[in-house]
Every structure is written in C-alpha cells, then in structure tokens.
Amino acid sequence: MNQTASEWKDYECIDTGNGEKLERWKDVILRRPDPQALWPIEKEDRLWLHPHAHYHRSRSGGGSWEFLKPLKNEWKINYKHLTFKVSPTGFKHTGLFPEQAANWDFMMDKIQKANRDIRVLNLFAYTGGATMACASANACEVVHVDASKGMVNWAKENMVLSHLENKKIRFIVDDVIKFVEREKRRGRTYHALIMDPPSYGRGPGGEIWKIEEQLYPLILKCMDILDDDPLFFLVNSYTTGFSPTVLNNILHSTLLRKYPNGIIESGENGLPITRTQTILPCGIYGRWVSKK
C-alpha cells in the first residue's frame, strides 16, 4: 500500500528530472539532488535556473550549496498544527523529510482513536517530526532517541515552535541498541514504536550500525519492550536496494507471530509532483497495526 504526503501547504515538490528535484519550502525554492528522478526535466524554466539555492554534488563525494538569492540560515514551515525549523545543511538535507507527513497522519490518527494512554518510543528520531506528531495527538509520553546531540537539540527547537513544551517528551542522546537493552532491564514498555534507521551510522560512543546486519536483531529487542497490547510498530527506510517486501517479511516473522491480532502494511512513501501529476518515490515503510 503506497502512501503519498499530499496535504502540505507550506511544501511543494514542483518538478523533478535529471537526478534532481525542484522544491518550494514556504517561499523558498531549492534545487537538490534526488537519485530516484531518472527521467529528463521536461522544461528547465526560470524556477529551475534561478532557485534560492542549488545543491551541487562533488565528484569526490559530498557537495555544497550554491546560494543564488538572499536566503536566511533558517526559517519555519507548518504542517497542519505543527511547526518545524528548516535549514539547508552541508549534506543537502533541510532537517525535514516532507514525505513523512503521511506517516505522521497515520500516527496521529491511531493515537487519537486509541481511547487510552499511549507511550511512544521514537528511535533514530532525527529532528523529531514523528515525535511532535505523536505528542500533539496527546500521547501520554514520547521518548525521542538519537545518537546526534545536534539533531536532538534541533528537535527541542521544533517542540517549542509547535508549542508542545507542556507535553511529556523525553529527549535522549544515545545509541539506540544500548538504550533499548537498558529499557528492557528497567522493565519499561511502550504501546507504539517508531524507527527510521540509517543504512550506516555511528553511535555517540563510536558504535557501528549496519542496517542489513542489525535491523532484524533490533526489531527482536524492541519486541521485548512492547506492551502486551501494542498499538503500532512502524519501520521507515531509505536504504537503496530494500523493497517494501523486505520490511513486510521481517514484520511477518517477528511482530505478527507474537501479536497475531494485528495486520502488516508496507509500501513506498511518495511526494506528488505538481507539474507532471506523478509521484516521486521517497523510501519505504512497513508497519504492524493493531486491529482493535
């Protein structure tokens, strides 16, 4: 089941092609690389040629921004009742993945309709889009875990921007595997679990993460801290070569066996492309969802 983040007002994927995408972030036009846009640009017009900033990849790796118009270091955009800080980073990113809005809508809907207290654990939580969505839906507690202190601080800014300071959000800088193992020893459990693991990464203590080796064991560890009556378990991935079927099969052999009262859903995340009326694929998701 593919899902599309189609309810944005402050964000728009205007056009794509030649390995790039042209985006509107409120009033700012950015031109960035996108490896999925393998088709040609139909018309490289004024917006393509004169964005506020254009990220150029380097042949030696990495890349840099070319700023073509005056642009603040950061600005704010809204998604429904949520507000986020956006800022071009050295790795082409902006601090927000707009296609994740489809997952935010799913989480908010499930938590609001649960009619019970829901504790949420968000692993590899980045700048906190999912954290803010769950907190705004009145989860009784959201625990936000990421190995990057800078990203956790950014998430704290997003909490303030979204006026969620009075919600119970715990921000933790830690290696996610070590954190999950400690939560098991503490006897802590969660009703909903979200993870967005990178293909490769390092923890704050130099711990090495390789998704193809550690995703399945991590999901098993996370099942040890799930409540006996869980609400949902969501895995998001941008790893090249992983299809939705991979996540579907992993969740079938783990979550569904232990919790047969749920269903497995998986598919692509996507963004609508305004000019071509087509969809830009933006990673995959898989989730176990309670039937209740």
In CATH, the architecture of 3-73 is Sandwich (2.60)
φ, ψ for residue 90 (rounded to 5)?
-70, -10
Is pTM beyond 0.85 here? Answer: yes
Please give the backbone phi and psi of residue 16, each rounded to the nearest 5 degrees, phi first: -145, 165
Strand-pair partners of 82: 79
pLDDT, residue 207, reads 75
CATH number of 98-290: 3.40.50.150
Q: pLDDT of 137-188, one tens digit each?
A: 999 999 999 999 999 999 999 999 999 999 999 999 999 999 999 999 999 9
**Tell me, what's the pLDDT at 58?**
84
pLDDT at 241: 83
Helices 149-161, 129-136: crossing angle, 10 deg rounding: 40
pLDDT, tens only, 250-268:
999 999 999 999 999 999 9
3-state secondary structure the chain: CCEECCCCCCEEEEEEECCEEEEEECCEEEEEECCCCCCCCCCCCHHHHCCCEEEEECCCCCEEEEECCCCCCCEEEEECCEEEEECCCCCCCCCCCHHHHHHHHHHHHHHHHCCCCCEEEEECCCCCHHHHHHHHCCCCEEEEEECCHHHHHHHHHHHHHCCCCCCCEEEEECCHHHHHHHHHHHCCCECEEEECCCCEEECCCCCEEEHHHHHHHHHHHHHCCECCCCCEEEEEECCCCCCHHHHHHHHHHCHHHHCCCEEEEEEEEEEEECCCCEEEEEEEEEEEEECC
**CB of 155 within 8 A of CB of 95?**
no
Is the pLDDT at 42 greater than 80, yes or no? yes
Kindly report, residue by residue over 261-290, the tens digit of the pLDDT: 999 999 999 999 999 999 999 999 999 999
Task: Give the position of tokens 């991935």.
Answer: 237
**pLDDT computed for residue 108 by the predictor:** 98
Reported as a single tens digit per residue, the pLDDT across 188-243 is 999 999 999 988 877 777 777 788 888 999 999 999 999 999 999 999 999 888 89
Spans of all domains in the chain: 3-73, 98-290
Q: 172 has which bridge partners?
A: 145
